[in-house]
Amino acid sequence: MIMHRGSSLLHIWQGIEALFPDVRAEISFRLSLLIAQLAKDVARRSETYQRCRKSYDHRSQAAHGGQLQKGPEAWVEGWNLLCLCMKAIMARGNLPNEQDLIGEALI
């Protein structure tokens, strides 16, 4: 049982954000776009993008003192996104940087 889901969700997103340390502006948009491109071979980009945006909103609620919904759904979704990132990195055999992912998306 996770006693502090909000804090735990913040830790999950710290892990996700650590994958792209140069993202410092338009964070929700850029991380969502990069994760969608990273995971393109293991998940639908449009779906991944929307999932990331929603989960980042939950992360922001937790970070700024808001209450998460009752139930574990927001936490589980954050965890699933972190796992999706790891699965995508393993499938690719590496972690592309931000510029490489943008280049892929523009091809």
Does residue 3 register a pLDDT over 70?
no
Tell which residue, 45, 28, 27, has the closest CA to residue 36.
Answer: 45
Q: Tell me the domain boundaries of the chain.
A: 5-17+28-106
Does residue 1 register a pLDDT over 70?
no
Tens digit of each residue's pLDDT (9 = 90 or more) over 27-84: 999 999 999 999 999 999 999 999 999 999 999 998 898 777 777 899 999 999 999 9
pTM for this model (two decimals): 0.91
* One-letter amino acid for residue 40 of the chain: K
Does residue 2 register a pLDDT over 70?
no
Enumerate long-range contacts of 12-17, CB under 8 Å, 24 or more apart: 12/59, 12/75, 12/78, 12/79, 12/81, 12/82, 13/55, 13/56, 13/59, 13/78, 15/82, 16/78, 16/81, 16/82, 16/85
> Sign of torsion, CA 95 18 64 62?
positive
